[in-house]
């Protein structure tokens, strides 16, 4: 009878998680013939990009289908503009950012600054999210000072519960850690050194939000998480350990 070695265990683990194995075995990031679908949920235009833009770019380079699901259109996000005017501007910015990341924008229909959590809202959001048939969903960490971020997180969590805990892998992202996301303790990192410029470009597509100011905080986060992970730039995530497990790149 043969003895199972540590190397045998490691090889078996790599085969069990094809997303990670593809990243390691294909350094030039060739497209996967059987792509997974990833949905990144944010409260506003710019949240998916600032929290996970580098990871989104890496995923689309691997051939994954990536959807940026915005809970709102940023209606309250431009001083001096009506909700309708701001929504038009920020929707166009989100579409431009998604083009840079090769992702698809999708909007859940709530209103910036007036997001709601109710039985009807839970059901409506779950319908939008589950229609995408995601394999992985990344959303806001729920301990956050912004109500819209908390709403996006809880709506996503409820959809996961409703669909069944094995329905998709659930990850949480951080934004403006310290001033918004709080008590965030990463379980996983993604090296975004090769895609940081695209993340930056996608964030700067949100011209109405004065990206030179808000990206400074994210640049510091990317560098800090990179130091933790042993690379130049990284994004950090928390995996819900009761959900499916699918490796990020």
pLDDT at 98 exceeding the cut of 70: yes
- Model's pTM, two decimal places? 0.86
- Which range marks the domain in which residue 95 is found? 35-239
Take residue 233 and report the two structure tokens written for it: 């730039």
Q: How far apart are CA 11 and CA 184, in angstroms?
A: 31
Confidence label for 217 from pLDDT (cuts 50, 70 and 90): very high
**Residue 28 belongs to some domain of the structure:** no
Sign, Cα dihedral of 139, 142, 144, 145: positive
pLDDT of residue 221: 97
Mean pLDDT over the full length of the chain: 89
26 assigned to some structural domain: no
Share of the chain above pLDDT 70, in %: 86
Q: Is residue 247 part of a domain?
A: no
Where in 18-145 does DSSP place strands (E)?
A: 37-42, 65-72, 104-110, 136-140
For residue 34, the model assigns a pLDDT of: 53
Q: Is residue 12 part of a domain?
A: no
- The enclosing domain of 102 has a CATH number of 3.40.50.10320
Side-chain-side CA neighbours of residue 76 (13 Å):
10
CA distance 139 to 129: 12
If one counts every other C-beta atom within 10 angstroms of the C-beta of residue 246, the result is 18
How many domains are contained in the chain? 1
The per-residue pLDDT for range 41-82, each reduced to its tens digit, is 999 999 999 999 999 999 999 999 999 999 999 999 999 999
Residue 20 lies in a domain: no
The answer to the question of residue 245 being in a domain is no
């Amino acid at each position: 009878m043969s003895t199972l070695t540590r190397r045998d265990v490691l090889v078996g683990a790599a085969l069990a998680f094809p997303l990670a194995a593809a990243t390691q075995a294909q350094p030039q990031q060739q497209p996967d013939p059987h792509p997974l679908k990833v949905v990144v949920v944010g409260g506003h235009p710019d949240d998916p990009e600032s929290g996970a833009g580098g990871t989104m770019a890496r995923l689309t380079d691997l051939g994954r289908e990536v959807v940026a699901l915005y809970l709102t259109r940023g209606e309250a996000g431009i001083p001096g503009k009506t909700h309708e005017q701001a929504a038009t501007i920020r929707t166009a910015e989100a579409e431009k950012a998604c083009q840079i990341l090769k992702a698809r924008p999708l909007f859940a229909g709530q209103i910036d600054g007036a997001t709601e959590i109710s039985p009807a809202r839970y059901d409506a959001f779950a319908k939008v999210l589950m229609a995408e048939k995601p394999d992985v969903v990344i959303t806001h960490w729920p301990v956050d000072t912004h109500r819209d971020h908390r709403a996006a997180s809880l709506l996503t969590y409820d959809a996961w519960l409703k669909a069944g805990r094995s329905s998709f892998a659930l990850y949480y992202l951080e934004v403006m850690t310290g001033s918004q996301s709080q008590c965030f303790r990463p379980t996983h990192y993604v090296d975004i050194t090769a895609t940081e410029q695209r993340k930056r470009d996608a964030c700067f597509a949100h011209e109405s939000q004065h990206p030179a100011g808000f990206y400074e905080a994210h640049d510091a986060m990317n560098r800090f998480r990179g130091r933790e992970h042993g690379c130049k730039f990284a994004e950090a995530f928390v995996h819900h350990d009761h959900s499916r497990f699918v490796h990020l790149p």
